[in-house]
Amino acid sequence: MKRISKTAAALLLGVLLQVGACRSGESIVIGSKNFTEQVILGELLAQQIENLTELQVVRRLNLGGTFICDQALRAGELDGYVEYTGTAYTAILKNEPIRDPEEVYQRVKEDYAKQGMEWLLPLGFNNTFAILIRSEDARRLGLRTISEIAPHTPNWLAAFGYEFIERADGFEGLSETYNLKFAEPPRVMELGLTYRALANERVDLIAGDSTNGLIAALDLFMLEDDKGYFPPYDGVPVFRRQTLEQYPQLREVLNGLGGTINEVQMRKMNSQVDEERRSVREVVAEFLAGGH
């Protein structure tokens, strides 16, 4: 984001003070962004540490968007959280999107290392942006790809999360790449609310997460990114190097999660929380008990 508003800056300061006030002793502070998948992943890191070390974990989950978590990590008020490679590469490091997953991972790893932070092993899934419409519209209009919707969007309403509007790999580039023009400027709302707004016909298109369990539950259709606009978004734990050096066992313990979650498994866990209304702690404990 080119700038953070005064309101967002004040919120960030409040979050940092709240987190900092709770740090004590032999504890690891784990954070997350403010949507279901992120809370699950934060809990996953926390339980992995608690199960395999003697360290105490302070959970600061559901903090806010990308920039709040990133600034909290850089300020030393979080020890780690799960970030997405494409998000770090474009939104945080301000690079133009590239498509090669390994190159994106290596470049964010190198850039973060210069700033005292370490990217661990990827968890195994790519949560790319999903351009979604209702399945009934896809069937009725014979739509499969993002390119195919361009003739229809002048009559459609769109809704996006605030980050998607601002980021380099977000709405502006998408609309230019696919020549998308809408009936009015996109509505900006909390990401979690956009799915039901689409299902309830309040809008006609959203940018969601490809691993979100609501896609199937609400009978939504993910359009193919046929021009390869979106970069990879592999979920990866990122930690302060100082923390990993202070507690050397952490790196091995957290890298034990590497490659253990695919898109289907992530979507299932999201659905268990969002649709089945199970607790995050229960869902994560069950996943880890399954041999992961």
Domains within the chain, CATH numbers bracketed: 26-126+232-289 (3.40.190.10), 129-222 (3.40.190.120)
- Taking alpha carbons only, the member of 101, 215, 211, 227 closest to residue 173 is 227
* Contact predicate 185/259, CB 8 Å: no
Tokens standing for residue 58: 């302070």
Q: What contacts 290, CB < 8 A, 6 or more positions away?
A: none
* Contact predicate 35/191, CB 8 Å: yes
The pTM of this model reads: 0.82
Share of the chain above pLDDT 90, in %: 83
Taking only the tens place, the pLDDT of each residue in 151-175 is 999 999 999 998 899 887 899 999 9
Task: Taking residues 104-115, report their average pLDDT.
Answer: 98
Taking only the tens place, the pLDDT of each residue in 229-278 is 999 999 999 999 999 999 999 999 999 999 999 999 999 999 999 999 99
